[in-house]
Copies of this chain bind each other. A is one copy, B any other.
Amino acid sequence: MEQLITIAAFAAYCRQARRPLGLVPTMGALHAGHARLISRARAECATAVATIFVNPAQFGEPNDFAAYPRDLPDDLATLEAAGVDAVFIPSAEEVYPCGHATAVHVAGPAIPLEGDARPGHFDGVATIVAKLLIAAGADRAYFGQKDAQQLAVVRRLRLDLGVPTAIVAVPTVREPDGLALSSRNTLLSPEQRALASVLHSALQVGADCFVAGARDRELVEAASRAVLDREQAHLSVDYVALVSPDSMAPWKSGPALLAGAVRLGPVRLIDNLLLGDPQS
């Protein structure tokens, strides 16, 4: 597995790579959710490249950035074992050169929910993702469905900037109790970990209402929220929202996404369920 540390070397590697070329952008601290992205890229592409960069620009709170789990030796072993051809591991100085002054700003799907809760987060995401997509010029890039709003933002910027890379969404991987895999799960205490799966259970209750025929957005949200409110001594709810998965606007018709965010002590967890188009 080649290790590349400059944008120029990464771009040169990608230009000469066998096609199709698949890109898996990560912030490291790899878990089975990332492994699913990688094995999909490996299966679909002649060349699979991953990136590891904990992007300071997408963290609002300095503590969140400092606390974000990092384990490079373990990550490299995981990528090597998964048959990744090359990994790009730039420094912050390489990604944000001296005098850096450019930001990619997405409005629309980046505004509500996570955009509201984490000002500047999606500007940071959009800027680094645009840069990685441009440098790699990949045929496909793989993102987890767990970060559904990020996926909507990336799809929007891809379309708006005319990036010639297909965006592939990969289903969320879950623990046996339903908790979505996340690098931040390692920051939970045993008690918080035991409680954390309530987010998925709560979303499942709302989803069951929707699938059973409920078409009142607020009723679906309230059904999920009621499950979370039972644990209000231990967690706080940022939002539960039934939205359209492309625009992230409140759901009216068509495919739906039921998304939620909670805080368990210092750890903020998000999850979502994609609900099919009730008309189709």
Contacts and interface: CB of A to CB of B under 8 A. Distances in A.
Interface of A: 7, 11, 15, 96-97, 99-110, 126, 130-131, 134-135, 137, 156-157, 159-164, 246-247
B101 A156 contact: yes
A137 B107 CA distance: 26
A102 B162 contact: no
What number of copies of this chain does the assembly contain? 2
B162 A100 contact: no
Given A105-B105, A162-B11, A99 B131 contact: no
Contacts of A11: 162, 164
B126 A102 contact: yes
Contact of A105 (B103, B135, B157): B103
Given A11-B164, A102-B106, 17 more contacts: A7-B162, A96-B160, A97-B159, A97-B160, A100-B160, A101-B107, A101-B109, A101-B160, A102-B126, A102-B156, A102-B160, A102-B161, A104-B105, A105-B105, A134-B162, A134-B164, A135-B162
Q: Which of A15, A99, A156 has the most CB of B within 10 A?
A: A99
Contact of A102 (B7, B96, B104, B135): B104
The 5 closest A-B pairs by CB, nearest first: A101-B108, A102-B160, A101-B107, A135-B162, A7-B162
A131 B157 CA distance: 10
Q: Which of A101, A106, A126 has the most CB of B within 10 A?
A: A101
Q: Which of A100, A130, A159, A161 has the most CB of B within 10 A?
A: A161
A247 B110 CA distance: 30
Contacts of A160: 96-97, 100-102, 131
B99 A247 contact: yes
27 contacts: A7-B162, A11-B162, A11-B164, A15-B164, A96-B160, A97-B160, A101-B106, A101-B107, A101-B110, A101-B156, A101-B160, A102-B104, A102-B107, A102-B126, A102-B157, A102-B160, A102-B161, A103-B104, A103-B105, A104-B105, A104-B161, A105-B105, A131-B160, A134-B134, A134-B164, A135-B162, A137-B137
Contacts of A134: 134, 161-164
